[in-house]
Amino acid sequence: MIETLIKMTVPAEKRKEVLQTIKAILGPIRLERGCISCNCYVDVEDERVFLFEEEWKTSEDLESHLRSDHFGVLNGAMMLLRAKPDIRFNTIASTTGLEAIKAARA
């Protein structure tokens, strides 16, 4: 699985425009081949900071997405920002959940 994390600091005057853009592409991205999830979050301590998160089944699925019109729209929105976004692609070999907490607290 490949996780995409894009942290954007959006100027206050661009916030509404960027949010509308993100809302418009979330649904279509979720329908792309190999998309496990696609969400956007706002930092509770700084409403100018957005975290755009995606999960992809394979690197081929992610590469196809990066060439898509949907990502082109997001990339265009990121070009409007004053500061470059922090972009990370994490390859995840395994995951765990509640069982890790139970084991650690046992």
Q: What domains can you pick out in the chain, each with its CATH number? A: 2-105 (3.30.70.100)
What is the C-alpha separation between 89 and 3, in angstroms, rounded? Answer: 6
The predicted model gives 88-101 an average pLDDT of 92
The pLDDT assigned to 94 comes to 87
Taking only the tens place, the pLDDT of each residue in 4-63 is 999 999 999 999 999 999 999 999 999 999 999 999 999 999 999 999 999 999 999 999
Q: b or e along 47-71 (b: 16 or more beta carbons within 10 Å of the residue's beta carbon)?
A: eeebebebbbeeeebbeebeeeebb
The pLDDT assigned to 39 comes to 98
Instruction: Provide the CA 54 distance to its chain's centre, in angstroms.
Output: 4
